Structure 1
Amino acid sequence: MTEYRKIALVTGGNQGIGYEICRQLGAAGVKVLVGARDSARGAEAVRRLSADGAEADVIEIDVTDEAQVTKAAAAIAQRYGRLDILVNNAGVLLPEERPGSSSAELVSQVYETNVLGVIRATKAMLPLLRRSAAGRIVNMSSSLASLQLHGDPSFELGAFLMLGYNSSKTAVNALTVLLAKDLADDGIKVNAADPGYCATGMTGYASSRTAAEGARTPVRLALLPDNGPTGGFFADSGPVPW
């Protein structure tokens, strides 16, 4: 079993911001495990990352499938023996109606990936993270999760009233705070990252902010030193209000 300085799993790592997180972590000397539902797409991402000089491998993982998440954790344990960084990046944004008319079924679909998927992946990977000397968990959130910002009439994204997506990220923020407290004695730091409104497939590329720019804060949180924060919510500019 080869020893690596740091090993990171990025769910949904084969495209968009997830891919850029993998690329930037790889450039920092981290062994990157590209979590992908489609192993062929994951393998293509690994090929591109390797061409850039990163050490990368693909891990097939669908965070909505408990058995597959368990299998992915077992594969990482067998191949690498531990995990230093988990970036819970996999997420969905489905076409939604406004909160007053959105369906419970649609909101449930969003939560299945964005909330329960984070819980599944984190629980499965925790035994591996506990083997790290400095475990880090980064949960991908959004400023759309902020209740305080939505109460501000000047909030620039305040018109995006997507009940499932927005509230799912609020739930992820709550999970971040609780996990940070629960895992403090294990030395595992847990933080939420707001990548900003980026040009990705999820947003229809309707932004001037690039996926590479969106990856900067999650990468910084993944590589936090021992004196770094835990239980926080951060963007490039600093803390984001809850």
Structure 2
Amino acid sequence: MTTTLITGGNKGLGYEAARRLRDLGHSIVIGSRDASRGADAAKSLEVDWVQLDVTSDASVAAAADAFRDRWGALDVLVNNAGIAGPRVDVADVDGPMFAAILDTNSVSVVRMTHAFLPLLRESASPVIVNVASGLGSFAMRHDPNVLESKIPTLAYSASKAAMTMLTTIYAQFLPDLRINVVDPGYTATDLNGNSGHQTVEEGTDAIVAMATIGKDGPTGEFHNRFGIVGW
């Protein structure tokens, strides 16, 4: 059975991805910063959970140790946890605000990859899925015909662009893993005040697709529910 860990799995895209992958036969573990929310979500989904704050080196290390003790090898890691940050004008983004968003959305990918790589390498077909956004795509940012080019999400977009670069380098230099990044699209979740035009099922299409690839699947690619996304 494929063992899959999803960070931020207690709500939104993480919760729906957990539900769908569970229905496909994955053994799901959701990571949640809040213990009560994690336990409640796991009970509702009938899956396992681990307490995990992706902004804390100590928490991530402890979660990796607990994971090894309870579940052993890890087959699929979905780096889904993230924040949008305050909705402010570009000129009002300051250093601490930017650093907090970058830490949660980008540095956390490094923390998780570093801590869980030994467990992934015990899998016969290890996979990492990084959940980014079209708002972090340079191609979309420069296309005046798409919504992503019109939204002034300075820190969030930069953090997701950093995630896509992390993905390309990890994929290049960790060839024994399949590592891809996905754009869920504008999906109705707490992250955007449920203003997105897509359902959470539509928003998790790319996550599920990249989480279920085999050892000969793609690596170092950027996908949404329709196919390849321009970097």
Q: Which TM bucket (shorter chain)? A: over 0.9
The alpha carbon displacement at 1:71 in A equals 0.5
* Match for residue 208 of structure 2 among 219, 224, 230: 219
2-structure distance, mates of 1:27, 1:79: 21
**Which residue of the partner structure matches residue 154 of structure 1?**
145
* Match for residue 120 of structure 1 among 91, 111, 116: 111
Q: Percent identity?
A: 40
The alpha carbon displacement at 1:76 in A equals 0.8
**Which residue of the partner structure matches residue 53 of structure 1?**
none
Is 1:172 the counterpart of 2:171 in the alignment?
no
Over 3 Å counting, the alpha-carbon distance change for 1:40 and 1:101 in structure 2 is: closer
**Which residue of the partner structure matches residue 105 of structure 1?**
96
* Match for residue 230 of structure 1 among 213, 219, 225: 219
Q: Which amino acid aligns with 1:127?
A: P
The alpha carbon displacement at 1:208 in A equals 2.7
Preserved contact between residue 25 and residue 219 of structure 1 (Cα < 8 Å): yes
**Which residue of the partner structure matches residue 23 of structure 2?**
27
2-structure distance, mates of 1:38, 1:101: 30
Give 4+ residue runs of structure 1 displaced > 2 Å after superposition: 96-101
Preserved contact between residue 91 and residue 113 of structure 1 (Cα < 8 Å): yes
Q: What is the CA deviation profile of residues 40-60 of structure 1, one whole-angstrom value per residue up to 9, with x for unaligned ones?
A: 11111111112xxxxx11110
2-structure distance, mates of 1:118, 1:225: 22
* Match for residue 88 of structure 1 among 67, 79, 96: 79
TM-score normalised to the size of structure 1?
0.93
Unaligned runs of 5+ in 2: none
2-structure distance, mates of 1:100, 1:49: 42
SS of aligned partner of 2:197: coil
The alpha carbon displacement at 1:17 in A equals 0.3
2-structure distance, mates of 1:183, 1:25: 24
Q: What is the CA deviation profile of residues 153-189 of structure 1, one whole-angstrom value per residue up to 9, with x for unaligned ones?
A: 11222221111100100000000000001110x2x10
Q: What is the CA deviation profile of residues 101-121 of structure 1, one whole-angstrom value per residue up to 9, with x for unaligned ones?
A: 421111111011001111101
1-structure distance, mates of 2:102, 2:89: 16
Is 1:200 the counterpart of 2:196 in the alignment?
no
* Match for residue 50 of structure 2 among 50, 59, 65: 59
SS of aligned partner of 1:157: helix
Which segment drifts farther, 221-230 or 98-107?
98-107
The alpha carbon displacement at 1:33 in A equals 0.4
Preserved contact between residue 96 and residue 106 of structure 1 (Cα < 8 Å): no
Which segment drifts farther, 85-94 or 220-229?
220-229
